[in-house]
Structure 1
Amino acid sequence: MPGLAPEALSQAYAAAFQRLLTVLSALTVLSALVVALFLRGVAQTQTEETDANPALDSACS
């Protein structure tokens, strides 16, 4: 960018990448939480189905 000192440009890049890192970190944590909650729900559903139909489990084994 014309007219900007190299130090100012360097600081602007550092600030932009810091924001990018913060946003990507937040998205990573949120994605991990969503996956963990989804897997917990699937595991509970499978446990409830197994408890409700024990004869099916022994027949399939």
Structure 2
Amino acid sequence: MKPLMDSIVALCPSPVGRGVAYGHLPDSEEKAERRPDESEPFSALVFKTMADPYVGKITM
């Protein structure tokens, strides 16, 4: 288990170390920036949406 956890730490660094992320607001093309801070609005990237016959739409 320790090698797995060490790999996760090495390959998936903390968002705090990444800095500012840039993008745009979903309802407009207005540019937005998000800092890795709890006071900032939540922001996510949807990379896949699936339809499951038992669950419905699943967004990843």
Fold shared, TM-score > 0.5 on shorter chain: no
Looking at secondary structure, tell me which structure has more helix per residue: 1
Looking at secondary structure, tell me which structure has more strand per residue: 2
Instruction: Give the shorter-chain TM-score range.
Output: under 0.3
Q: Which has the higher contact order (CA 8 A, sep 6+)?
A: 2
